Chains A and B, each alone.
Chain A
Amino acid sequence: MGNQSKTSVDGVHSDVKVLEMKTKRSNVLDVLLRVLGFLLTLTATIIVGFGKETKVISYASLQFKVTAKWEYMSAIVFFLVTNAIGCSYAAISMVVSTIARTSGNKTALLIITLLDLVIMALLFSANGAAGAVGVLGQKGNSHVQWMKVCNVFDAYCRHMTVALVLSIIGSTVFLLLVAHSLFKLHYYRSN
């Protein structure tokens, strides 16, 4: 955004300054949202990855040792992988979007917006999957004779719920990122 003050009219000068301030403010908001998304997905990944619980069940004078881990359910594996992808994408796009915004590269900004969209859809589907499995573990399903798991593994279930809520908030942050860049595209035309 170079200073196009060929004329000495004050109006042109102040308009360029207002546009520069708007760009800086939206850049700060963009980076802030990405940092938030990075932190939330990172926390969700760590909680799911390290949330292992082992319990000993005694049933009819026999001792069973049962473990709950993220590997044992494919929906949770999908949830973990997707949150890891979202986390690393947030970290990389923080850097790339700042560079692209200061250098004014419009194609790179559009690509980042589209990638934001795709990663947001992926994150939401992983949230849906983990939510479905979580409800199943919490309540079971009497019609198919699937018993609930959370009465045994209560700490594991609490960890998973916290990770799911964090991931939902993180996906909403990605949604806000897309909406923010859409409205920025809208406001750019008023120059």
Chain B
Amino acid sequence: MASGNEEKIESGFNDVPETKPKKDWILLSLRVVAFLATVSATLVMSLNKQTKTFVVATIGSTPITVPLTAKFQHTPAFVYFVVANGIVSLHNLVMIAMYILGPKFHNKGLQLALIAVFDTMALALASSGDGAATAMSELGRNGNSHAKWNKICDKFESYCNRGGGSLIASFIGLILLLIITVMSINKLLKLNRN
């Protein structure tokens, strides 16, 4: 029983349609913002590169300089971060496309359950990518004396700052994805109550 298909049913005694479209716009705008956040996190981290020349030794009076580059590909944690955020932004895009192109699919129960399950899996992927990048950034900023790992953020400052910005955007996307998943579950519950 498709409950609340807005204009199609002329039964006349459901007053649910007035509240339903409002919730759809909120969810859609949250998804758009989450998509923008994860896309920007992916782009900023994947274009994160900084080259700096360091003086290694001095022979006579000429210093020998070596240019060193910090790229995101050097670290597996950041590669995983970019890949995870890319997949999550693709998921957000597909969900937005489903909202805009196929609104009549939403009110079937199984479709909503699948959407909620996919949202949960995207949440898991995004959170693991964020955790890996946070651990790596914290090591880069503070170093670890027990493992003799020196901090690198004092030398490559703008690389670290850009990485931090990308991380913040990804965290915003994660929190929004959590809210979106909660709202999808709530939708499932509301459908089930009718």
Question: Residue-by-residue, is B120-141 near A (CB-CB < 8 Å gives 1, otherwise 0)?
Answer: 1101110111111111101110
- Count of A-B contacts judged by CB separation below 8 Å: 131
Verify if A178 is at the interface (C-beta below 8 Å from B): yes
In the complex, chain A residues 68-87 whose Cβ is within 8 Å of any chain B Cβ = 68, 72-75, 78
Which of the residues B117, B131, B192 comes within 8 Å of A127, measured between beta carbons? B131
B139 touches A117 (CB 8 A): no
CB of A75 within 8 A of CB of B124, answer no
Contacts of B138 in A (CB 8 A): 74-75
Question: Given A133-B139, A141-B75, A185-B185, A175–B112 Cβ distance below 8 Å?
Answer: no
Closest to A148 in B: B147
Is A124 a contact partner of B150 (Cβ separation < 8 A)?
Answer: no
B130 and A125 contacting across the interface, CB-CB below 8 Å = yes
A34 and B32 alpha carbons, distance in the complex (Å): 34
Contact B188 A125 (CB under 8 A): no
Identify B124's interface contact among A124, A137, A186, CB under 8 A: A124
Does A32 make an interface contact (CB < 8 A)?
no
Smallest Cβ distance from B138 to chain A, in angstroms? 6
A7 interface residue (CB < 8 Å to B): no
Q: Is the CB of A122 within 8 A of B127?
A: yes
Verify A182–B113 contact, CB threshold 8 A. yes
- Indicate if the CB atoms of A128 and B80 lie closer than 8 Å: yes
Q: Does A120 contact B (CB under 8 A)?
A: yes
Cβ–Cβ contact A185 & B188, under 8 A: yes
> Across the interface, which residues of B come within 8 angstroms of A97, CB to CB?
none
Closest CB in chain B relative to A65 CB, distance in Å: 13
Q: Which of A72, A118, A136, A188 has the most CB of B within 10 A?
A: A136
- For A186, give its contact among B70, B80, B109, B130 (CB under 8 Å): B109
Which residues of B72-123 have CB atoms within 8 Å of chain A's CB atoms? Answer: 74-77, 80, 109-110, 112-113, 116-117, 120-121, 123
Q: Does B152 contact A (CB under 8 A)?
A: yes
Interface size on B (CB < 8 Å)? Answer: 47
Q: A29 interface residue, CB < 8 Å from B?
A: no
CB neighbors of A among B137-161 (8 A): 138-140, 142, 144, 146-150, 152
Q: Is A94 an interface residue (CB 8 A)?
A: no
Interfacial chain B residues near A182, Cβ < 8 Å: 113, 116-117, 120, 185, 188
Nearest B residue to A178 via CB reads: B120
A185 CA / B178 CA spacing, docked (Å) = 19
Say yes or no: A129-B135 contact (C-beta < 8 A), given A144-B74, A182-B188, A186-B192: yes
| A50 contacts B by Cβ under 8 Å | no
B185–A149 CB distance below 8 A: no
Contacts of A122 in B (CB 8 A): 127
Give A136-151 interface residues, CB cut-off 8 Å to B.
136-137, 139, 141, 143-147, 149
Q: Which residues of B contact A (CB under 8 A)?
A: 70, 74-77, 80, 109-110, 112-113, 116-117, 120-121, 123-125, 127-136, 138-140, 142, 144, 146-150, 152, 174, 178, 181-182, 185, 188-189, 191-192
Q: What are 25 pairs between A and B in contact, CB < 8 Å?
A: A75-B135, A75-B139, A113-B185, A117-B120, A121-B178, A124-B127, A126-B131, A127-B128, A127-B131, A128-B127, A132-B131, A132-B132, A135-B76, A135-B77, A136-B77, A141-B74, A144-B74, A144-B152, A145-B150, A171-B124, A175-B124, A179-B120, A182-B188, A186-B112, A189-B109
A residues adjacent to B (C-beta < 8 A): 66, 68, 72-75, 78, 110, 113-114, 117-118, 120-122, 124-133, 135-137, 139, 141, 143-147, 149, 171, 175, 178-179, 182-183, 185-186, 188-189
